[in-house]
Amino acid sequence: MPEGDMQTALARAVLRLLKPLVRILLRHGVAFGGFTDLAKRAYVEVAFEAFDVKGRKQTDSRVATITGLSRKEVKRIKELPDEQDSEAIIRYNRAARVVFGWVHDARYQVEENVSRDLPFDGSDPSFSSLVKEYSGDVPPRAILDELLQVGVVARDAQDNIQLLKRAYIPSTGKVELMAFLGTDVGGLLKTMDHNIHELGPEPYFQRKVYYDNIPEQTLQQLRTMVRDKGQPMLEEFDKWLSQHDRDVNPEVKGTGRKGAGIGIYYFETDVEDEESNS
């Protein structure tokens, strides 16, 4: 494809992906100036991380040339404190690991696919021992409060803790969901970057199905189908990945440290809006 055509296609694609992002930003009071500050930081960090010349140290001058920013601005941005992993993501990972252990560890099951009701502590197994094994030194009460709040667990008449859902999903509107905007959408964009620019020996799996003349009355059935079929498939991938993750299974051998995952999401739109953006 000629470079001009590629730039035009890229501009159209960026506009399409920016519109839902800007919608989120405006809903949360982030004006254009705030977005440009974030964009500048992203440009500088990516230029330093991924666009250096092999065998040469990346310089502020070269980053300024690549990004179109001034050297003064590059220096200012480079000296900003590092962004740490979101506490919301850390809380999510800890709670999700606890639910995973409850679902898959035979010690915490009555039989296959039937999780045991657990006392908070005292006996073994207990909810406290589950948290210690799958979430480290986090207070079991904090994990329990989170799982109770989102409806993943409940207490029975004997004050035992029952698992109601086989997956931990943060409640709508919580900070965790906003944190996933970066991790989940970022993961999809990394996959597309890999595939577009042939950054590996083979493309990553990236597929979707989409039809544009579906009556509104059928959408609830489709949403239900996605939940019913998507969750078991993700649990199967979850179980396989955990068997090869050294945090969960310290006996796993091998070199390097990689992150890998699979995401499934449902979307719908008004076709008129889609056509106006084409």
Q: Is residue 126 in some structural domain?
A: yes
In this structure, what CATH number is given to the domain that contains residue 126? 1.10.10
Q: Is residue 169 in some structural domain?
A: no
**In the prediction, which pLDDT does 85 show?**
58
Q: What is the pLDDT of residues 162-188, one digit of tens each?
A: 999 888 877 655 677 787 888 889 999
Q: Which of 129, 156, 159, 128 is nearest to 144 (CA)?
A: 128
**SS3 labels along 21-70:** HHHHHHHCCCCHHHHHHHHHHHHHHHHHHHCCCCCCCCCHHHHHHHHCCC
In sign, the C-alpha dihedral spanning 193, 199, 204, 207 is: positive
- Domain extent at residue 93: 87-163
**In the prediction, which pLDDT does 221 show?**
96
Number of domains in the chain: 1
**In the prediction, which pLDDT does 150 show?**
85
Q: Is residue 47 in some structural domain?
A: no
Q: Is residue 266 in some structural domain?
A: no
Q: Is residue 94 in some structural domain?
A: yes
Q: Is residue 19 in some structural domain?
A: no
**In the prediction, which pLDDT does 59 show?**
92
The ranges of the chain with pLDDT < 50 are: none
CA–CA dist 102, 166 (Å, integer)? 8
**In the prediction, which pLDDT does 21 show?**
93
Six-digit token string for 54: 């092999």
CA–CA dist 99, 153 (Å, integer)? 9
Q: Is residue 184 in some structural domain?
A: no
Give the length of the chain. 278
**In the prediction, which pLDDT does 77 show?**
92
Q: Is residue 117 in some structural domain?
A: yes
